[in-house]
Amino acid sequence: MRAISLVQKLEFEFSGNIARNAVTLGDLDNDGCNELVIGNDEGVIAIFKGKEKIQTITGLTFVACVEIGDIRNEGKNSLVIVTADGWCHIYEVHSQEEESTSDEAEINESVDEVDGQGPSSAAATTETQSSSESTLDSDLKNTKVLKTPLVCVHIQRIPANIKNLLLGDVDSDGQIEVVVGLTDRVIRSYRFVKNPCKTTNDFFKENAKPEEKFLGKLVAINKWECANQIGSITLHHSYNGRPSILVGQPGGTFMRIRCQMDEGEEELNRSDGSNNGNLPGSIDYQFLGISRMRNPNISTEILGDLKSYASAESVGKIGESTNISPPYALATLDGTIMLVQDEVILWAIAVDHQVFALTKLDVTRNGSDDIVVCSWDGQTYILDQSKNSVRFHLEEPVRAFQSGWYYLNPDQPSVTALVYVTFKNTIIIYYDIPLKNLICKKFEPDEATLSQLFVDKSRNPEQALEYVKNMDKKSKAELVSSLLYDD
């Protein structure tokens, strides 16, 4: 397998135990540039932008998951932190310039889904004071990068022992839902319901107690129980854009939850009048028949919605093929990596390393997502959807891994990044991965160009081209070599 060594890297110090899902790349401050957020077991969250740490949030409990997304459905990103003991914190950047626009957005948005209950009592009783240090640091550079620090806009008690967090529109209603996976095989979904009387500005202007000015709350929608331990959860869309939640189950299998019902069913439900926002989903288990015997005890990672260059192309070509869903990837801890499309395994490879992290990133920038997997011992495999692979070895054990886009400088375009959290209290970001192509090819000279050399009295251009085409590889290589290197 082709291997590469990487040069360009950033290193940050960050101590503590880091949960696998407590590291993410996303645009926190809504400036179009991604930041890196990481949390540890001591309840410290660090936010990195470019080449520096811009903020630290302390005073939380064991950070189990962090995610960046538009949880409040306001058209701007928030940082969602879920701790192992069941606290969900939402942090946001509140910028003055946004005020007028966000006011308008507030008015335009429908707030009909609010039920009359006040903020949950749990949130009110415990006040986790989260101090943001960056302003105190009086570091001019820092304040320049992030004009306004992140502030906590919401705290709520949700069940404890959450290990996976997903923000996404799981029922295609245009709103972002929160899906969490728990260590006790349960999947729950929530929706952030706004308090109609409160606007973002009120939150910052009022002097009232924090619990009184919450902008809304997370309302539970659904609960599903899986048969086995949850590996990871992901959102996937089928060819017609219908979303489903895929839950990795041991042994390379998964459970699929469809929150949105088939159109027929939906209408049926409506006529019953039983449908009041709580959409019951349909569930099915997929075992993905594979010839290789799989260990049913091995944990499975799953990742949906891989952007596919091939499918996009075929859609353009033939109208019929629009009913091909994007592929999704599975990886098991015993080192099997699979690409699956419509429950058919397109390919599977086995590696000798314990694969624990499965991410996607268009490393080659060809419009098609590549699968980036990482094993505990630092072996990283970059695979494209045609099974071509490149290996990179971080010669150090890895605690958590993430891949994505990162910005070194807001003025520069984004770069691909591999984020490793090591056991030596460092975060290593390898950026701008220099891979244009996953396959390494021999140089093939342009035949038309070479044929110009053979146009003479005995050969016209067509004959010369024919002559070049008939040359064997070795003499072509010799010709190229003599052209390039002989004086």
Partner 1 sequence: MEQFKDAHYFHIPSQGNVYTTAELKLANDKLLMLAASLKREIFSLEYLEAPAGLVPSTKEIPFTYIPSGAEIISLDAFNKSLSTNEVVIGITIIKNSNDSDSLETFLNIYSQLEENDEFDIENVAQNCLTVELNFIPYKLMHTKFQEETVFLLSGSDNLVHVYRENPQDHVFKEIQDREVHFPEFEKTPSPVVWIDILHYNNERITAFSCECGYVKVTKVDTNTNKRLYSFVTRFANHVPKVQLYLDKNHVNLVVVNATLPPALFRNISKYGLSDYVTLHRLDDGTVFTTCLVADVDFDGNKEIIVGTSSGELFMYKYNETKWYLEEVKFMAAPVLSLNYGDLSGDGVKELVVSSMIGIHVLQHDPVFIQNKLKQLILQKSVIRRPVAEKEEEG
Contacting positions for partner 1 (CB under 8 A): 1-8, 388, 393, 434-436, 439-446, 449-450, 452-453, 456-457, 474, 476-481, 483-485, 487
Minimum distance from CB of 403 to partner 1 (Å)?
18
For residues 88 and 80, give the distance between their C-alpha atoms in angstroms, rounded to a whole number: 7
For residues 232 and 249, give the distance between their C-alpha atoms in angstroms, rounded to a whole number: 8
Query: Hey, which residues does 422 pair with through a beta bridge?
Result: 398
Minimum distance from CB of 365 to partner 1 (Å)?
14
Minimum distance from CB of 404 to partner 1 (Å)?
21
Let me know the angle formed at the C-alpha of 168 by 165 and 170, rounded to the nearest 5 degrees. 110
336-341: strand order across its sheet: 300-303, 328-332, 336-341, 344-350
Which is closer to partner 1, CB of 220 or CB of 453?
A: 453
DSSP for 99-145 reads HHHHHHHHHHS--TT--S--S-HHHHH-----EE-TTTTT-HHHHHH
Tokens at residue 35, please? Answer: 């930041």
Minimum distance from CB of 485 to partner 1 (Å)?
7
Which is closer to partner 1, CB of 144 or CB of 474?
A: 474
Minimum distance from CB of 375 to partner 1 (Å)?
15
Minimum distance from CB of 6 to partner 1 (Å)?
6
Spatial contact of 65 and 41, defined as CB atoms under 8 Å apart: no
Which is closer to partner 1, CB of 61 or CB of 426?
A: 426
Contacts for 357 with CB less than 8 Å, ≥ 6 apart: 20, 301, 373, 374, 398, 400, 401, 402
Which is closer to partner 1, CB of 268 or CB of 483?
A: 483
Which is closer to partner 1, CB of 345 or CB of 480?
A: 480
Query: Hey, which residues does 132 pair with through a beta bridge?
Result: 57
Minimum distance from CB of 353 to partner 1 (Å)?
14
Q: Report how far apart the first and last C-alpha atoms of the chain are (Å, whole number).
A: 37
Contacts for 175 with CB less than 8 Å, ≥ 6 apart: 73, 169, 191
Distance of CA 61 to the CA centre of its chain: 24
Which is closer to partner 1, CB of 118 or CB of 434?
A: 434
Which is closer to partner 1, CB of 148 or CB of 426?
A: 426
